[in-house]
Copies of this chain bind each other. A is one copy, B any other.
Amino acid sequence: MYLPYFDTEQWMTDHEGGALYNLTDTCIRPFSLGELLEMDKEGISKDVVLDYGSITGDVRLKKELLSLYTTGSEENITTASGCNQANEMVMLALLENGDRLITYTPGYQSYIDLPKSVGCDVVTLPLYEDNGWQPSLTDLRKAFEQPVKMVILNMPSNPTGVVFNEEYLNELIALCRKENTWILADEVYRDIRQPSLSDLYEKGIATASLSKLFSLAGLRFGWIKGPKEVIDTINCRRDYSIISTGPLVDTLALVALRNKEAILNRSYQRIETSKTIIHEWLKEEKRCTWVEPAGGTVSFLGYHKKTSSAALCEGLQKRYGVFFVPGSAFGYEYHVRLSLTAEADRLKEGLRLFSRYLDEID
């Protein structure tokens, strides 16, 4: 099953190493194992036995995961090796050759290319920058003139940070309900104070992980929340794949979730500080356009120059060590992914150097 290179991930892998100012990382400064173990006041992790563990997921863990949602019970949850692998399992479990899907662009490549590898037809609807990266209801209605097996969305979105407005979401759900269409909502960037698609729509399947706002990408822990029939099908597929996420990761994930308030507040503070810095910088920097993200850790910064985004990112990193993922990795030119995760001093200095680089190029 052919898959092309994953441009964003490949760019990260190839360029992340040498970065002095990483202004594109999707994760707030990750915790160390030591820091995480210090949060484990009950000492539940030290005696973990490294067997397969509870195959469909630790019950205490599922309870904690459910606290991030307003509906559902333990049979509506299963675990995965990160959110990406959760998405892969949902897509491979539910999609068949010939199915027709909707997703959005600019967006994360796997929502297009994984379904294509199964033989699906993927319709991409544009996000409109001049409308705050909101999609259009007209486009949506037109796409629903033919049968749609699944809508894949990412909310908040990578790279735009958009959260679809209520009017759009309501109509999307109404159309899906009428056509019996699944919604796969990648909520890896979700602020848990915002609603989950899985709580709004009975055929909504939400995926997420501890990688982004929880700052624990290294656990490779994700989950899926959705209708019982979907979770059952995925638990069947899991036996052909990861089998379980294992008791080590499950237990450490439980520790993290029991400390979610402190962990998430740290992230929310960083995000607010970053937004303030970016707004300050934009007061002086008139060659860039920016839509403040409604949630998550990433945004999509436009620049008014002729240099392509890949050339700009290569040149900028070489010249000043400032690291962005280019818009081209998301199929969208003259933009870079600007994240809200860097420490304040790094972000300020990185943006200052970026402005200086814009002086130097066409």
A residues within 8 Å of B by Cβ? 1-6, 9-10, 12-13, 27, 30-34, 36, 45-53, 55-56, 81-82, 84-85, 88, 92-93, 95-97, 110, 113-114, 118-119, 211, 215-220, 236-237, 239-249, 252
Contact = CB atoms under 8 A, between A and B. Distances in A.
Which residue among A1, A31, A92, A252 has the maximum number of chain B CB atoms within 10 Å of its CB?
A1
Interface SS of chain A: helix, strand, loop or mixed? loop
Given A13-B55, A31-B50, A245 B220 contact: yes
A30 B52 CA distance: 9
Contact of A219 (B46, B84, B246): B246
A31 B10 CA distance: 36
A95 B237 CA distance: 18
B248 A219 contact: yes
A6 B56 CA distance: 14
Contact of A220 (B12, B47, B216, B246): B246
Given A236-B6, A240-B110, A1 B50 contact: no
A193 B261 CA distance: 50
A118 B220 contact: no
Nearest to A53: B218
A249 B220 contact: yes
Given A85-B81, A88-B240, A244-B220, A32 B5 contact: no
Contacts of A92: 1
